[in-house]
Amino acid sequence: MSSTIPFPSTSASAQPATALKPLVPVEGLHVVHLYYTVDHGLWQTLTTEEQQEAKTRLAKLVQTIRSHPRTQLLTFSVITPKADLGFMLMTPDLQDANLFEKQLTLGLGPDILEPVYSYYSMTELSEYSTSEEEYKKQLRAELQNQEEHGTEIVLSPNDLDGSDTFELRLNEWRERMKKYNQDRLYPNMADWPVLCFYPMSKRRSDGNNWYATEFEARRELMQGHARVGRQWHGKVRQLITGSTGLDLMEWGVTLLAHDTYHIKGIVYQMRFDEVSSKYAEFGDFYIGLQMPLDELLRRVQL
């Protein structure tokens, strides 16, 4: 189990949204994806003044949520009639997450926003990441086989561990892992326009039971899966959140991109990777377009 990653520092002091005891996990954030349709018939029964008051009320709510410590709220229009609009909420306190979710649902008034889909998960670290001891072992092997001026460096493991090169490479790895873990547990979500969300699980069928597969084999498969994902660096940003015991499936996957071409591309390419082709099961895919709230309300014809 990896060590706990601290929250990013913030100048604002956390104020609980309710009088109840905060429910902050040992590490990570609560993540709630919310999807709604708009009841336009009910909306049209409101006067112009009431409609404007409702939109102003929702705008203030979104601003309040976004100003809450360590909290992010993404707003987006949804492609296809699966939903009209959606929110992605990330916050450390489950009490806050629950309160904000209820407030958003009623943000335009009772029954104007009808929930059609939701998903609850948490940011988490991967159990398949390379440990420090594993990296040291790999580094020793690499340095022992390294050639310098055409001859192999012949050093004992003890000599390697104390060498400047070994310590430099090890410290560089530690810094990379620190950032990697921080980004997984406390990510800063980009404002890239295309947002894709889908849930997934690992299969338990007799022929392809992920949970009956040895850990080392699973880790090797996942590391290969990650190498495929890294080919899309700079084109797709990915956040994997855990939902085992929290929602219907085992993980939530949020992808951000500048173009649906890249969303389609990474998902297609990964389908051929063994982790997906043999062991993955997918839920529905939801595609949204991130935009400011005022533009979002215009987009959904409010």
Q: What angle do CA 245, 115, 281 make, to 5 degrees?
A: 40
Structural tokens at position 156: 């004992």
The number of helix segments (H) and strand segments (E) in the chain equals 10, 11
Q: What is the DSSP string of 148-185?
A: ETTEE----HHHHHTSHHHHHHHHHHHHHHHHHHHHHH
CB 127 within 8 A of CB 242: no
pLDDT score at 157: 55
pLDDT score at 140: 78
198 catalytic per annotation: yes
Please give the chain's pLDDT, 302 residues, in tens. Answer: 444 444 444 333 344 455 899 999 999 999 999 999 999 999 999 999 999 999 999 999 999 999 999 999 999 999 999 999 999 999 999 999 999 999 999 999 999 999 999 999 999 998 887 777 777 777 777 777 664 544 455 445 555 666 777 788 888 888 888 898 999 999 999 999 999 999 999 999 878 999 999 999 998 899 888 888 888 999 999 999 999 999 999 999 999 999 999 999 999 999 999 999 999 999 999 999 999 999 999 999 99
Q: What is the DSSP string of 92-143?
A: S-HHHHHHHHHHHHTTTSTTTEEEEEEEEEEE---TTSPPHHHHHHHHHHHH
pLDDT score at 142: 77
Cα–Cα dist 183/107, whole Å: 30
Surface-to-core class of residue 34, CB atoms within 10 Å of its CB (0-12 exposed, 13-18 middle, 19+ buried)? buried
CB 257 within 8 A of CB 263: yes
Work out the number of other CB atoms within 10 angstroms of the CB of residue 125: 19
User: 132 Cβ partners below 8 Å, 6+ apart?
Assistant: 170, 173, 174
pLDDT score at 2: 42
Cα–Cα dist 238/247, whole Å: 20
The dihedrals phi and psi of 38, each to the nearest 5 degrees, come to -100, 130
CB 294 within 8 A of CB 30: no
* Entry pTM: 0.87
CB 5 within 8 A of CB 181: yes
Strands 194-202 and 236-242: unpaired
pLDDT score at 147: 47
| N-to-C CA span, the chain | 48
* From 35, 119, 120, 198, the catalytic residue: 198
Cα–Cα dist 139/161, whole Å: 9
